[in-house]
Amino acid sequence: MVRLQKFLAQAGIASRRASEAIIRDGRVEVNGQVVTVLGTQVDPVKDTVAVEGRVIQPKSHRYVAVHKPKGVLRTRKDERNRRILTDLLPADWDLKPVGRLDRDSEGLIFATNDGAFALRITHPRYGVPKVYEVEVAAKVPRRVLRQLTIGVEHRGELLRAAHAELLETNRTRSWVRLELTEGKNREIRRMFATQEMEVTRLIRVEIGAVKLGELPVGKWRTLTETEIQTLLRKQ
């Protein structure tokens, strides 16, 4: 069962608030009866919902994992006609990218038409971990990794990794694995900038329990039901 205004919003009729106004105006029928009470519960499978006489079909949700290439924008449109994430997906799906992954970064990103799922993945209060493998143009000492987990300040904002691990290093280059639970703008690049180090490659390899794995660059796959339910559980 789902609240009527949520059903209308998920079906793409209007926003949640606008759907409430439509209900109050007496423009919605459930099984042939006008309903004006907000919060009325409907069964999307069994009940027939109509707006101004037009039967509304429940919108099926899609959840996909995409291997975003470097150079692709995670936005849904770009005035300069640069390549965007939705160019990699079927055009008629109308999915929205979930969370941040800037143009110069690559790796795992989700796309969905389920706003509640997107909120669960991105809002800091849910603490869904995101794991990155980062190439840095410098030898990264372990004291720097410790500092990143304690926290660093960049332009008045505290940035902190939940976990930091050195994968390999030499005198001119290092690979570091970082886990974050927030999605601040260009957070990892800013972290290393406070240490006067430049990030030369950034790959997101995990979101929660979902791994990038062998998914080819520029390709997508549907999330399994188990993956979806695991992501929706409290971390």
Rounded average pLDDT over 212-229? 96
β-partners of residue 152 are: 159
What is the model's pLDDT at position 128?
Answer: 95
Q: Give me the percent of the chain exceeding a pLDDT of 70.
A: 99
Domains of the chain: 2-55 (3.10.290.10), 63-125+210-232 (3.30.70.580), 129-207 (3.30.2350.10)
> Can 102 be counted among the known catalytic residues?
yes
Strand-pair partners of 230: none
Which amino acid is located at 56 in the chain? I
Active-site residue, from 78, 102, 104, 114: 102
- CA 12 to CA 132: how far, in whole Å? 34
Beta bridge partners of 2: 42
pLDDT of residue 144: 97
* Residue 151 region by backbone torsions, left for phi larger than 0, else alpha for psi between -120 and 50, else beta: left
Whole-model pTM: value is 0.79
Q: 65 pLDDT exceeds 70?
A: yes
Residue 34 has pLDDT above 70, yes or no: yes
